[in-house]
Structure 1
Amino acid sequence: MTLNRLFIQNLRNLEGVDITPSAQVNLIFGENGSGKTSVLEAVNLLALGRSFRSHKHKPLIRHHQNSFTVFGKVRVEDGSDVPIGINRTSEGLANFKVNGSMVPSAADLAAYLPVQVINSETFLLLEGSPQVRRQFIDWLVFHVEHGFFPAWKAIQRCLKHRNSLLRHDRIDPFELAPWDKELVLLTEQIHEFRLESFRQFHEVFDELCKEFTKLDGVKLSYYRGWDKDKNYAEVLSASLERDQRIGYTQSGSHRADLRITINGQYAAETLSRGQQKLLVCALKIAQGCVFSRITGRKSVYLVDDLPAELDEKHRALLVKWLATMGTQVFITGVDRDVLLASWLDKPEITPKLFHVEHGRVVEAPY
């Protein structure tokens, strides 16, 4: 999958952008505040329907405008181009289109444009909440297990109803029973989806981690969200009184986590900031490799301010892996020559350069 056209209108300071990216490497340079990251943000909006910088939609819309639009053409496996787009208004209305037709949710966009982001927020993978790591593993599960997303939506609905019942002063067991039964079935289904994806991910990650970090004792483990020695139906039954007391379901797939340790201690508490960055890069590259291995497709990588996040040696290592994967890449940075330097020893790749200034994006000479 590659993005071979990107049109942006009224997104942050980008008034009107229409570019034809390279299917390989795109280097986007310009001063801080010029709009570089907003270009990556536009690609992410096309892929997920949301920004990686803000959960609010109003800051995304250019000053004095009522909406923003991002449109793209995605080259798919058979060589055809699929147009996809998103429009978001200041009132919060979101419209998603694929092939000229409205689609119900951003998930329909995600199926066409699988995107990986590496930026300063990426390091929350180690130090953030379990939700951040669940989202990380669920990205892979969503793209390789077609039954996952319907099950995930169903379990959100099920938990909402069960938690509502738990907050009642008196619970009718006959009213709770069907929700418990459905919750058990969905939880076990989601667990199996995650477990299989984690197994394949773990194999690739182990090899990449050795090259990226040179650390001994790195261990990746998957916690399913409840006691590994008990089945979920037993856990639900045993925790009913406590669940009712606090008003929500404590255990289940919604509590799953990806645990990353170094010699038995949490990586976020043990590693230096630089080591954490390398470990997260290994996680992100491994995810793209596994996705490609399972599906035969390639994800698009968005790397924001690469020179600020990694030193020259480790930039070269990341670039080497991106080149080996043969994936489409968008990388931002302030200095054109610094960005370009990491690719000069790869004659098979000719990056496209884009200069961003005051919200305008123009292709620059190589």
Structure 2
Amino acid sequence: MPIKSLHIQHIRNVADVRLDPSPRINIIHGDNGSGKTSLLEGIHFLGLTRSFRTTQIRHLVQSGQDACLVFAQVQALPGAPALPLGVERRLDGEVRVRHAGQSIELSELAQLLPLQVIDSDTFLLLEGSPSIRRQFIDWGVFHSDRSFIQLWRGFRRVLKQRNSLLKCGKIDPRLRRIWDQEFVAYAEQMTQLREQYIELLKPDFEATLGRLLGGVAVELRFSPGWDRKTPLDQLLEEGLARDLKQGFTGAGPQRADLRVRADGHNAAERLSRGQKKLVVSALKLAQGALFYRLNNRPCIYLIDDLPSELDEQHCRLFCQFLEETSNQCFITCVDPAALDGIWLPQTDVSRFRVDAGKLSHAD
């Protein structure tokens, strides 16, 4: 299991909490505002040095403290020994990440602790901006191909430089061609990996959605961010005047998107609210299943207030999917009875209660 023990300090109203979680299902219940979601934020912080609820560290760190810290014993691979992992972030911006006594980069940390978050904002995956869907795609590509992170970093560097030149208003043609050549090279490689990933994801998504939402045809289509009928270097040349006017690059993988179609129409406009929730759930479950198949190790699912997001029937189906996998899951709810009677007797389920930031075992 990925997390064998967990120690969270100074995250929101959680001053000091220790947790020995189940390797499979962990149910955390308590009243609204008790600190349930803060515990999930602590695990997310451990894997990515940030919260999934805010980008401002000052909102995450407990009032009156100058830093937050999460420490854990983490088993990176099945059968491997558990090793210490610690993440500290201070209000002044300093971030420290240590694994097995060594400092590691954020990309190494993300690979070590693959996290899937499902909360009320996750359902913006259909209705939100393309950037949200790009993040979904790139999470999968990052964990399926080790070369992607370097391509992504290289492309961001080139895009930033090209946009900087565009904002100046005048670009030396020779200099622009050099940057455009790099831009196209990175764009083509990134796009190929993204396309390959979506094709790998489709069978898992279709199988999962078939069980959650039978009778509704939903199709995934990848949009690379430009019209592939025309070479990208030609599009950059033809769009230069527009790009200069706007001050940024209009075509390229920075505009990629995942198009989700239901019966030939935009799923966000075609489906009911309940159906959208099931489509997003299927996307997240399929991504975890594909991760396991490609990496031979599970994810960690952080699921905030699951019963409020799905009706009773589909909540049960969702939990059955989780039960069939090897993922370690942390699920919050207000009423623990909503998740009773779902799990098989042999499933390792631990229950915890949170009151005013303090944790107790509820078994």
- Please give the TM-score of this superposition, normalised by the length of structure 2: 0.97
Letter of the 2:218 counterpart: V
Question: Paired residue for 1:87?
Answer: 88
Contact 2:6 2:19 (8 Å CA) reproduced:
yes
Letter of the 1:91 counterpart: D
Question: Paired residue for 2:295?
Answer: 295
Could you tell me how far apart the structure 2 residues matched to 1:84 and 1:350 are? Answer: 24
Question: Paired residue for 2:180?
Answer: 180
Alignment of 1:203-282 (within 5 A): 203-282=203-282
Letter of the 2:331 counterpart: I
Q: Secondary structure at the match of 1:222?
A: strand
CA apart distance, 1:258: 0.3
Give the unaligned 5+ runs of structure 2.
Answer: none
2:353 to 347, 352, 355: 355
Question: Paired residue for 2:334?
Answer: 334
Could you tell me how far apart the structure 1 residues matched to 2:118 and 2:272 are? Answer: 18
Could you tell me how far apart the structure 2 residues matched to 1:169 and 1:154 are? Answer: 24
CA apart distance, 1:47: 1.5
Question: Paired residue for 1:70?
Answer: 70
Letter of the 2:175 counterpart: E
Letter of the 1:206 counterpart: E
CA apart distance, 1:260: 0.6
Could you tell me how far apart the structure 1 residues matched to 2:195 and 2:28 are? Answer: 38
Contact 1:118 1:301 (8 Å CA) reproduced:
yes
The alignment status of 1:196 with 2:171, answered yes or no, reads: no
Could you tell me how far apart the structure 2 residues matched to 1:101 and 1:334 are? Answer: 39
Where do 4+ consecutive residues of structure 1 move more than 3 Å?
Answer: none
Aligned positions, number: 362
The Cα offsets for residues 297-335 of structure 1, whole Å up to 9 and x where unpaired, read as 111111110111111100110011111112111100011
Q: Secondary structure at the match of 1:361?
A: strand
Could you tell me how far apart the structure 2 residues matched to 1:14 and 1:216 are? Answer: 43
Contact 2:76 2:113 (8 Å CA) reproduced:
no
Letter of the 2:346 counterpart: E
CA apart distance, 1:261: 1.4
Question: Paired residue for 1:163?
Answer: 163
Contact 2:222 2:258 (8 Å CA) reproduced:
yes
Among the aligned pairs, what percent are the same residue? Answer: 41
Question: Paired residue for 2:18?
Answer: 18
The alignment status of 1:40 with 2:40, answered yes or no, reads: yes
Could you tell me how far apart the structure 2 residues matched to 1:103 and 1:290 are? Answer: 26
Alignment of 1:106-117 (within 5 A): 106-117=106-117
Letter of the 2:359 counterpart: V
The Cα offsets for residues 273-292 of structure 1, whole Å up to 9 and x where unpaired, read as 11111111000000001111
Which sits farther off after the overlay, 63-72 or 210-219?
210-219
Contact 1:27 1:340 (8 Å CA) reproduced:
no
Letter of the 1:359 counterpart: G
Could you tell me how far apart the structure 1 residues matched to 2:341 and 2:11 are? Answer: 30
The Cα offsets for residues 102-126 of structure 1, whole Å up to 9 and x where unpaired, read as 223x222111110111110100100
Q: 1:348 to 1:91 in 2, by over 3 A?
A: same
CA apart distance, 1:342: 2.0
Could you tell me how far apart the structure 2 residues matched to 1:305 and 1:216 are? Answer: 26
Could you tell me how far apart the structure 2 residues matched to 1:138 and 1:284 are? Answer: 13
Could you tell me how far apart the structure 2 residues matched to 1:263 and 1:364 are? Answer: 45
Contact 1:84 1:109 (8 Å CA) reproduced:
no
Could you tell me how far apart the structure 1 residues matched to 2:249 and 2:260 are? Answer: 25
CA apart distance, 1:253: 0.7
The Cα offsets for residues 174-203 of structure 1, whole Å up to 9 and x where unpaired, read as 221221111111001101111111110012
- Please give the TM-score of this superposition, normalised by the length of structure 1: 0.96
Could you tell me how far apart the structure 2 residues matched to 1:89 and 1:326 are? Answer: 34
The Cα offsets for residues 7-52 of structure 1, whole Å up to 9 and x where unpaired, read as 1000000000111111011010111100001111111111122211
Q: 1:315 to 1:244 in 2, by over 3 A?
A: same
Q: Secondary structure at the match of 1:8?
A: strand
Q: Secondary structure at the match of 1:167?
A: helix
Which sits farther off after the overlay, 235-244 or 251-260?
235-244
Q: Secondary structure at the match of 1:283?
A: helix
CA apart distance, 1:228: 2.1
CA apart distance, 1:56: 0.8
The alignment status of 1:364 with 2:330, answered yes or no, reads: no
Quote the RMSD (CA, aligned, Å): 1.2
Contact 2:167 2:244 (8 Å CA) reproduced:
yes
Q: Secondary structure at the match of 2:88?
A: strand
Contact 2:25 2:350 (8 Å CA) reproduced:
yes
